[in-house]
Amino acid sequence: MTVRLGATLLWIAVLLAGCSSAGPGLPTAAPDLGHGLAKKVTADAMMAHLRALQNIANANGGNRADGTPGFQASVDYVAKALRDKGFDVQTPQFDRLYPVSPGKPTLTVAGRGYPVDQASMLVQTPPGGLTGPAVRPAQPSGCAASDYPGALPKGAIAVVDDTRCSVVDKQNSAVARGASALIVVSAPDGHGAPPTLFTPGYYKQLSVPVAVVNPSGAAALAGAGGPVRLILDAVNVKVTSRNVVAQTKTGSAHEVIMVGAHLDGSRAGPGINDNGSGVAAVLETALQLGPLAPVSNAVRFVFWGAGEDGLGGVMDYLFGLDRDQLNDIALYLNFTMLGSPNAGFFTDDGDQSGPPAPGISAADVPEGSAGIERTLAGYLNLAGKRAADMPLNTRADYHPFMVAGVPIGGMTTGASQPKTTVQSRLWGGQAGVPFDPNFQSPRDTADNINRDALAVMGSGVGFAVGSYAQSIGGVNGVPPHDKRHRTRVP
């Protein structure tokens, strides 16, 4: 946002929020819970968490990357801290894929090669590929074995379109008739594959090589008069990971304030600023709030697995929610990299007043996100740090929530971007130097955390959580339950 609300409007927002009634059967929220919680989230406590995560990395090959013993130990540390405080804690498992080698998946027709997408993520062709006749079923979708004319020739590669059923059904039908592989022809109209083609976890049910071919390869297939060759040589491995989830036992379960940070680090280093700092702030906020806090709205704390690997933890979590459960989430707060050495003070651009972000338009940002940004920016102003916009991006943990229609917001002190001269005048630090010179490197350690920045941002986490746990109304509020129209993530 280019114009920030100062202390006056922030106090108005807090006062308005405090006017909302808790409703029948709910505890009365503590007055000014936001400021009270902010004071309790201290730099000393957060640094203690960071030192614990550093020790975990030191004991596990120098990192806490998803799928490693260092990550599992990080999960155990966070879960134990929450359980010791009295929270009921879940650590649901999920599977994701880790790419080992991209290979060069190729379809060769009449001596010419065409790139293909390898849908069978865990199944490759033999060395040198598969060669056989391309066979099309009478019904182009190939959703039933009866669509094929009896048994197929030896080594046949079935060719189907992308309509009517999932790729698993298409494979099973082709294999039942003796096909050795499957090629799915993508729609040539530019709209992409139907959402029913690739269902969550589909790849676990594929037993033969399966490729998706683009229009040029499809045209070549249509005119193929002889055998074709398919090479699928990308190698992936299945990794089992976990999220950590804990929710207050008080507050409305239909107005849930979700707060998250990705728990894993990169494979290049200990991952203490990225994202141990976000974890430390969210964890300490949870511990200071406690499971029996006098809140109007329940608070759900989530520590994501696979944040560095395709947002696997967030995606798995949202896949598991139905529309009613999504509507029960009032908003999502996300915190990443809160202790950068050459710190900036950024709020996620919920009002889209900054430069447009690639792949995100103003229409993509759910109603209520602007108010969350004002809340966070207002707190930073009170702390003596003028906030600046951080463009939204599609690789952040909040993005799947945006797609589902949940209002989002968050803060960061910056990553690998260089600090500008104007920013150095605004916040101090060195112009021309990245906000975090140690980003995703072995130097991302507890010793290199900016303690002063962490203190400001961690208290901001506490303020935002306490404020919205108290009320989602007021000038910086989000839509009430009866005005929500969430969309399930496909």
pLDDT tens-digit map of 397-422: 999 999 999 999 999 999 999 999 99
**310 located within any domain:** yes
Asked whether the predicted pLDDT for residue 12 surpasses 70, the reply is: no
- CA nearest to 477, candidates 375, 325, 324, 354: 375
How far, in Å, CA of 407 to CA of 371, rounded?
9
Q: Give the CA-trace dihedral at 133, 138, 143, 149, to 10 degrees.
A: -70
Confidence of residue 6 (pLDDT cuts 50, 70, 90): very low
Better-scored residue on pLDDT, 196 or 28: 196
Query: Of the ranges 131-140, 190-199, 374-383, which one carries the lowest mean pLDDT score?
Result: 190-199
Q: Which two tokens stand for residue 399?
A: 């993005």
**224 in the same domain as 299:** no
Asked whether the predicted pLDDT for residue 291 surpasses 50, the reply is: yes
**% of the chain with per-residue pLDDT over 70:** 92
Boundary-marking domain end, from 214, 233, 252: 233
Measured in whole angstroms, the distance separating CA 353 from the mean position of its chain's CA atoms is: 23
The boundaries of the domain holding residue 397 are 7-98+240-483
**Can you tell me whether residue 114 is helix, strand or coil?**
strand
What pLDDT does 200 receive? 80
Asked whether the predicted pLDDT for residue 134 surpasses 60, the reply is: yes
- CA nearest to 167, candidates 182, 179, 157: 182
- CA nearest to 205, candidates 178, 232, 182: 182
C-alpha neighbours within 13 Å on the C-beta side of residue 170: 34
* Residue 415 neighbours by CB distance under 10 Å: 18
**Can you tell me whether residue 95 is helix, strand or coil?**
strand
Asked whether the predicted pLDDT for residue 25 surpasses 60, the reply is: no
What pLDDT does 9 receive? 30
Sign of the alpha-carbon torsion through 274, 276, 279, 281: negative
Q: Which two tokens stand for residue 490?
A: 């496909």
**48 located within any domain:** yes
**123 in the same domain as 80:** no
Q: What is the domain-level CATH number for residue 318? A: 3.40.630.10
What pLDDT does 16 receive? 31
Strands of 191-328, DSSP E? 210-213, 228-231, 235-242, 244-247, 252-262, 297-304
Kindly give, in sequence order, each residue whose CB lies less than 8 Å from that of residue 47, ignoring residues fewer than 6 positions away: 280, 446, 449, 451, 454
Boundary-marking domain end, from 233, 257, 289: 233
* Residue 441 neighbours by CB distance under 10 Å: 16
- CA nearest to 72, candidates 49, 53, 47: 53
Boundary-marking domain end, from 216, 233, 250: 233
What pLDDT does 190 receive? 53
